[in-house]
Amino acid sequence: MKKMLLYALLSILSCYEIYSQTTTNQSQVPAEDSLKLGLKWKNAPIYVRSMPFAIYTGAGKLSDRVAQNIEIGKSFNIVDLGIAYGRNSLRPDTTSFLEARVTMDVCNMGIFANEMTIGAGKLFDSQGSLMLELTYSIFAQISPKWGIGLVTGYYDFSNEYYDSSKSFYGFLIRYGLQRTDSGGLFGLGRGHGRPGRPGRSHGHGR
């Protein structure tokens, strides 16, 4: 967990440096155009994200080591706010969960992006366990509204009697508006997103 937090922090710092160098040569867009649009719930675009397959590390039967989920929410510039529903195994008596998630688009370079997700919710087991999530993903926007990515992270479960932590690796699929190189949403209209890198007429990456 500490190694992942350190790696994520280093990624944020390096991406911030890249972003600073990129935006120095860009034409400036008023803050109300690039930041305020999308902060209103009714104007924010909808996205759908799914992790159809993830596998826990460690020993055990495959049916006990596979997790799945689907998420729907709204995008606010570099942040996605959503609700996810999933299951933490493939067993017939599998335990499902409901979770609120915040995903931040940490850095964009071309069609690629780094993302960090923090989530909290409830596992519907007999004890009603608390579920916490920290994940990190490498994302690629393969079309104007479709993207795929690789995910690694942790689920932490706890209740009055026990606690456990599971690390996993998987892949994700996302449907929603792509982002410009500087993180603004592309496709909301002229002046509504931050421009891409110099010499590009449209957004790239997420």
* Structural domains in the chain plus CATH codes: 2-24+45-175 (2.40.160.20)
Q: Which residue has the tokens 């209209």?
A: 189
Determine the pLDDT at residue 20. Answer: 46
Determine the pLDDT at residue 92. Answer: 77
Determine the pLDDT at residue 16. Answer: 45
**Which residue stretches of the chain have pLDDT < 50?**
2-10, 12-14, 16-36, 38, 190-206
**Interval 80-136: pLDDT, tens:** 999 999 999 998 777 899 999 999 999 888 889 999 999 999 999 888 899 999 999
Determine the pLDDT at residue 15. Answer: 52
Determine the pLDDT at residue 173. Answer: 97
Determine the pLDDT at residue 33. Answer: 39
In whole angstroms, give the CA distance from residue 88 to residue 124. 10
Determine the pLDDT at residue 36. Answer: 47
